[in-house]
Amino acid sequence: MYMAVGLAGKVSRRVYSPSAVSSFFEVCDRDNTGVKIADPLRIGSRGGGFKLKKGTYTLAFEVPDGSDTVLINGVQTQARTTKRVIDNLRRIYGFGPVRIEHTVELPVGSGFGTSGAGALTTAIAISDLFGLNLTLSQAADHAHRAEVESVTGLGTVTALAYGGGAMGLVTEPGGFSLGRVDAILKDYSEYVIVCAWFGPIEKSTVLLSEDKLTLVNTHGREAMQRIMEERTPEALLRYSRVFAEKSGIATPEHLKLADAAARRGAVGATQNMIGNAVHCLVEKPKLDSFVTWIRGAIGGGEVIISELSDSGPRLLSSP
């Protein structure tokens, strides 16, 4: 794990958040009359997916002078969502420049919720660094606002902040203080998520494309209805696979791989929403044979394996 050394000033405790892979969604950015919602805390999504144990660890440092910097796995980056959290909190609390260091265990820009996890852990770390005493709901709302304003996500933070449910459903949209999260109650320790990853994509064009939203939302609502009727992980992935195809988001190659994964023993599989990856729910006794198969099936892609998590974010004991 990357560790900072030789930096002056105070440092926060390390903050952890799980990751989240989204299987289907519905964009909720208009009110009941069809008017675009202006308040980012009321904008969000309905949808569902899985929380992953592999996550994001964040430290916040007070910097004596200079400007804000953000590092991801030791590399300085623009990290616009993290920087939006910093800017929004600074306008309220008036602190000086900070250095944020993220250690991210999953690929960025690939539908694993890393921008949301980074935003959430940043809000908590800054609160810890400067003694702001933010509650979880307040920190999560700041993170959600930053995601919406940065066009990097809509419902991830609300799902991550919820301290339960490895197989989760965001049933009402909005920030953590307004949204509603439910979960499929299964023994998540019996499963792992196996992902085939093929590189990052820019998701803002998908989230901003008005001509796709009607199709996405129609099939997202239908998926939620079907999943809530059956309330099983099999249903979650079955109807998410249908959503991926009918919404037009999934590629034919990813759909083909998801279908093959199901035939090879996965509980189900679908494309990451939104990412250049396919996630498969696999029972642990079948893991070794399944991983052997998928590594041979994907050619140049990378296989990522993570246990599930039902935790929310937490402060760790020391940096």
pLDDT tens for each residue of 84-138 = 999 999 999 999 999 999 999 999 989 999 999 999 999 999 999 999 999 999 9
pLDDT over 70 percentage in the chain: 94
Q: Is the pLDDT of residue 206 over 90?
A: no
The pLDDT assigned to 205 comes to 58
Identify the CA nearest to 139 among candidates 154, 117, 155. 117
| Between residues 103 and 317, the one the model is more confident about | 103
Per-position DSSP letters for the chain, written without gaps between them: -----S--S-BPPPEEEEEEEEEEEEEE-B-TTSPBP--TTT-EEEEEEEEEEEEEEEEEEE-SSS--EEEETTEE---HHHHHHHHHHHHHH----EEEEEEESS-TTSSS-HHHHHHHHHHHHHHHHHT----HHHHHHHHHHHHHHHTS-SSHHHHHHSSS-SEEEEEE-SSTTT-EEEE--S-GGGEEEEEEE------HHHHH-HHHHHHHHHHHHHHHHHHHHH-SHHHHHHHHHHHHHHTS-S-HHHHHHHHHHHHTT-SEEEE-TTSSEEEEEEEGGGHHHHHHHHHHHSTT-EEEEEEB-----EE-S--
Q: How far apart are CA 158 and CA 178, in angstroms?
A: 9
Q: Tokens 């989760």 label which residue?
A: 168
- Confidence check: pLDDT of 1 > 90: no
Closest to 227 measured CA to CA, from 219, 238, 236: 236
Q: Mind listing the pLDDT tens digit for each residue in 22-78?
A: 999 999 999 999 999 999 999 999 999 999 999 999 999 999 889 999 999 999 999
Assess whether the previous peptide bond of 274 is cis (omega < 30° from 0): yes
- Residues 6+ positions from 286 with CB-CB distance below 8 Å: 265, 266
pTM (predicted TM-score): 0.94
Q: How far apart are CA 277 and CA 111, in angstroms?
A: 8
User: What's the pLDDT band for 267 if we cut at 50, 70, 90?
Assistant: very high
Domains and CATH numbers, the chain: 15-183+311-315 (3.30.230.10), 188-307 (3.30.70.890)
Nearest partner of 153 among 11, 44, 37, 294, judged by Cα: 44
Indicate left, alpha or beta for 128 from its phi (over 0: left) and psi (-120 to 50: alpha): alpha
Query: CA–CA separation, 227 vs 240, rounded Å?
Result: 9
